[in-house]
Amino acid sequence: MAAPRLVIFDCDGVLVDSEPMANRKFVEQAARFGLPLDETATLHEFNGAAMRTRAEVLAARHGWVPPADFVARVDAAVDAAVTEAEAIPGVAAVLARLEVSRVPVCLASNSRHQEIDLRLRHLGFERFFPRRFSGADDVAAPKPAPDLYLHAAREMGVSPADCLVVEDSENGIRAAVAAGARVLGLARFTPAERISALGATPFADMAALPALLVSQGIALAGC
């Protein structure tokens, strides 16, 4: 198997531990407009999903009619709380190693460009990702559709089959697999056995990621 030519990182849940915070802001806003939700259940069901997707699914399920600017309200609350989210433990060291090894990388997230930029700036990760792609802003259908990963590969001049994606959510894994990429899945909110069933290779934490990258044929400095 040829070595990947590009490593694509998801953002929320892979680079930054922002999913619980973003989900909490969604649940808080939904409660304000008459829809009480269980925070834990909502997090597990919608991990990695775009905010508009969450709102559409819940509106259809409960006959709920949120205000027209509901998603904008959630987005504003999430942006205001950017400093509440910290980096996933160990990911900074992985990114630095990829940088030193001159491995091409980019970012593909369902989040908005503004949200992505705020989070990378907060973490000091901007230099690692000069190219960033948004499921909310750049494509018609966010993850779990393959559109975002197909778009990222095309923009980076690489075949999807030559991409290695690092994901954590079921939505993201489905998107990357459907696009034809190889996928490594961080088993945090998605169980390892589910990640395997979706066609990805699970790993427990960022300390395990460098060895997995090497096993895929990526040359890392120090290996």
86's tokens: 């910290």
pLDDT (0 to 100) of residue 223: 59
- Tell me the residue length of the chain: 223
List CB contacts of 181: < 8 A, sequence separation 6 or more: 8, 149, 153, 160, 161, 163, 164, 165
pTM for this structure?
0.87
CA distance 27 to 98: 36
Instruction: Please list the ranges in the chain whose pLDDT falls under 70.
Output: 223
CA distance 27 to 212: 36
pLDDT (0 to 100) of residue 70: 97
CA distance 90 to 102: 19
Angle at 19 between CA 13 and CA 21, to 5 degrees: 140
CA distance 26 to 7: 30
pLDDT (0 to 100) of residue 5: 98
Helices and strands, number each (H, E), in the chain: 10, 6
